[in-house]
Amino acid sequence: MDELLAKPDVTLLRHSADVMHLGNDLANRMKLNSRLRMKALLACALHDIGKVTIDFQEYIRRRKGRAYPHALASFPLILAAEGMINDYYNWDSCELTATASVLTHHSPLGVELYKGFEAPRYHPKLKEILGDLWNLLESYEIKGLPGVEQFLQSAQPLLGKDSSPAIILDTVINYGELKYSIRGLLQSLPVNEFTQVKTVLHLSDWLASAGKNDASILFLNSGGKIIKSHTSKFPLRNFQRQAEGSCDENIQLRAPTGTGKTEALLLWANDADRLIYLLPTQATVNAMWERLREIYGDGNVALAHGRASYMLHMESEEDILEERLFGSVFAKPITVATLDQYLISHLNGRHWEERRCLTKQSKIVLDEIHAYEPYTLGLLLKALETDPPAYFAIASATLPPSLLKLFPKGTLIEAEHNLWRRTRHRLHLEDDLLQNVLERALSFAISGKRVLIVANTIREAQMLYQTLKNELKWDKCHLLHARFAFRDRQEKEQKVKDPKPGTIFIATQIVEVSLDISYDVLLTEIAPIDALVQRMGRVNRFDDQPPVPVIICSRYSENSGHVYGKEILDYSLEILRELPELPTDYDLASATDRLYTHIMALDSWNKEFSEGAQTLEEIQNVLGCYTIDLSDENMRSKFTTRRGQISIDVIPETFLQDVYGLYERGETWRIVEYLTPIPIWWIHRFPERFPLYKDIRYLITNLRYDNETGLLPPYLEEDQDDTHKDQDFSNIMI
């Protein structure tokens, strides 16, 4: 047999040397202390030593269909080596971060990892390759390993034919007065140290495997120069200059829509090694991803959310795996992600180690911070407390003082007074239900206005659309809500961005943070003030016309009361009645402040907030260095970043033939196009609506679906159970 291989066309020694070179660069760039640097390089050197088995070498040459897990075969050797280095440097004997990183570099650490495997058959060239790796380690000034002969002799109890690495992993050892299995010992390692060592190993291995020999591509180089060049095209506002001058501190940025808030945040990011830009929804993330790519270049900006793989595939099929991999762990110089992706890493979801390590060394932007419910805010605040980033910025057009008090201190930066004096809307409170004012909407449309109608529930929006189309015979109308197949939703989002005169666009809360649109008239159901302000921001968005009509229907259905709570709606109505007919942006921000102060004093709000913080703390304490096991029902119930109604994706039966065609053509990545979110309780309440198709791994529904109205509910009576906030959730197990 020829040289030992790590890849079909790369020798084990070459690959190991490349990984060590990259690992050394990364460890230095990430400022690992000397001990963790040595641990990381030891892991880089020995991460693939388990490929020195007869099984693997036959497998890599395609002489065998399967191979023994090489990470498990590496385990006894890295365990012995790390133990000897610990002794040499007088480090804690149970400090096994390199061992944990190597063992888990292909599979997450957990209770069941590698149970039941027998002993591997090591290759006769093991001694020879170890000698080469010892030389590599010595070249990086890592000492403490004896000669290879002595090492193998000392490690023999771990390497014999009767010594299964899987059994060794669960061997109980004494540690002072305590007893641990080695698996348990790895679970209890210091999380911060484990994440650093594993991140260096993983990123170095991935870079080397992708043929990249320069770790600097994972860092933002000359970010300050790039953004200054971009902003040189227009004069900076005072608040943007203040943000630029606060780049070495946390900031809290309050600025009205359309005044340059994003540019201010990027000026604050300046020359950061890494920027992570977090937003509430996939739609807002996609838009910001496109925007930042134009500024920083395609290769510098990653996308991370539940549909990211699909979006990247649609862009290009080249390097899709590499883009997806580095983007998913926040390893690109700039990552634009949903907040859910950040929080999942703190709930120990897949690849949590890299994400948590890299976010601690990043600048983080939390944009549209007003959009999150108390449970999510509880998770977020606990995550920031547990693993604070290098610096963070929170930003919104509405940053109530009561909300700011929750966050660690930062410099408050506010847009100039004149920017808050805009009067873009003319308010009118209508003492009626939204369904009774459709003819007014129609009269606006007939006069050439582009009309936005916002309902509080999906069913209400569907009925309004059907009334306009079927009874009032108005064809120039569109409907958008969360219960459309992904493909149809994307198409609709594009259509409503550039509406023709006379268009009527009916939507749900989905417009509040997801769409960058500007219409001429708004008719809406009463909603909490903060939600109404966001809806109002979708008409006369750029202040390019005189104040436009905003008609708010003060009567609301029982369903709206379920969605928001009667008390909140009544209090919002009270605040609305005190607003002037032509409110300024400052008036609207002050109204939002009043509502937040009221809501955050409620026991129910504080209870949910505390539950979020407690959940994150509990999961981290229970799991330690384990990745969450979603087959555990108790853990699965906690693995959510939002409260309220949980959604699950299904495929409407009308798309079945299309989906079968994707399977036949090997294009299963496109199945995302047909996924339609529903409340999970529908499945339990109406099982007959979800027939089993064994040859498709997604739930199928026989509920009526069409691309005009979306998926109809499994009941025809009034939609009193349809009470979730219809936002673009990307939170469940992504």
Q: Got the DSSP string for 194-233?
A: HHHHHHHHHHHHHHHHTT---GGGGS--SHHHHHHHHHTT
pLDDT for residue 316 is more than 50: yes
> Could you state, in order of their start, the residue ranges of all structural domains in the chain?
5-213, 219-419, 423-599
pLDDT for residue 57 is more than 60: yes
According to DSSP, the β-strands at 676-679 and 548-553 are unpaired
How many percent of the chain have pLDDT more than 90? 84
pLDDT confidence band for 258 (50 / 70 / 90): confident
| Closest CA relative to residue 415, chosen from 226, 251, 545 | 251
pLDDT for residue 731 is more than 50: no
pLDDT for residue 706 is more than 80: yes
Give CA–CA dist 368/264, Å, rounded.
Answer: 14
| CA dihedral over 149, 150, 151, 152, signed as positive or negative | positive
> For residue 122, what are its two tokens?
């090591």
pLDDT confidence band for 135 (50 / 70 / 90): very high
Interval 301-318 mean pLDDT: 82
pLDDT for residue 262 is more than 80: yes
Query: How far is the CA of 175 from the CAs of 92, 93, 180, 184, 471, in angstroms?
Result: 11, 9, 7, 12, 78
pLDDT confidence band for 324 (50 / 70 / 90): confident
Q: Which range has the worst mean pLDDT, 406-415, 558-567, 669-678, 715-724?
A: 715-724
> For residue 403, what are its two tokens?
């909300």
Q: What residues contact residue 209 under an 8 Å CB cut-off, 6+ apart? A: 7, 15
Interval 204-225 mean pLDDT: 95
pLDDT confidence band for 718 (50 / 70 / 90): very low
CATH superfamily of 423-599: P-loop containing nucleotide triphosphate hydrolases (3.40.50.300)
36-75 exposure pattern, b = at least 16 Cβ within 10 A, e = fewer: bbbbbbbbbbbbbbbbbbbbbbbbbeeeeeebbbbbbbbb
* 219-419 matches 5-213 in CATH topology: no
| Closest CA relative to residue 444, chosen from 377, 522, 381, 334 | 522
Query: How far is the CA of 731 from the CAs of 345, 416, 638, 700, in angstroms?
Result: 12, 36, 12, 21
Give the pLDDT confidence of 72-107 residue by residue, as tens digits: 999 999 999 999 999 999 999 999 999 999 999 999
Alpha helices in 666-729 (DSSP H): 681-685
Interval 703-721 mean pLDDT: 77
Q: Which range has the worst mean pLDDT, 314-328, 391-405, 571-585, 719-733?
A: 719-733
> For residue 344, what are its two tokens?
């999942």
pLDDT for residue 161 is more than 80: no
Number of Cβ atoms within 10 Å of the Cβ of 405: 9
Give the pLDDT confidence of 503-543 residue by residue, as tens digits: 999 999 999 987 889 999 999 999 999 999 999 999 999 89
Interval 227-244 mean pLDDT: 97
Q: What is the model's pLDDT at position 2?
A: 76
Amino acid letter, residue 114: Y
Interval 154-182 mean pLDDT: 87
Give the pLDDT confidence of 568-619 residue by residue, as tens digits: 999 999 999 999 999 999 999 999 999 999 999 999 999 999 999 999 999 9
Q: What is the model's pLDDT at position 724?
A: 42
Report helix, strand or coil for 53.
strand
Q: What is the model's pLDDT at position 732?
A: 29
Q: Which of the two residues, 614 and 177, has the higher pLDDT score? A: 614
Give CA–CA dist 464/523, Å, rounded.
Answer: 12
Interval 628-642 mean pLDDT: 81
* CA 235-237-239 angle, 5° bins: 150
- Most confidently modeled of 166-180, 392-406, 463-477? 463-477
Residues facing 276 on adjacent strands: 335, 364
| Closest CA relative to residue 417, chosen from 589, 540, 252 | 589
Domain 219-419 annotated CATH 3.40.50.300: yes
Q: What is the model's pLDDT at position 319?
A: 53
Number of Cβ atoms within 10 Å of the Cβ of 255: 26
Q: What is the model's pLDDT at position 720?
A: 38
> For residue 323, what are its two tokens?
């883009």
CB 131 within 8 A of CB 183: no
Interval 626-641 mean pLDDT: 83
Number of Cβ atoms within 10 Å of the Cβ of 273: 18
The CATH class of 5-213 is: mainly alpha
pLDDT confidence band for 292 (50 / 70 / 90): very high
Q: Average pLDDT over the chain, rounded to whole?
A: 93
Q: What residues contact residue 248 under an 8 Å CB cut-off, 6+ apart? A: 391
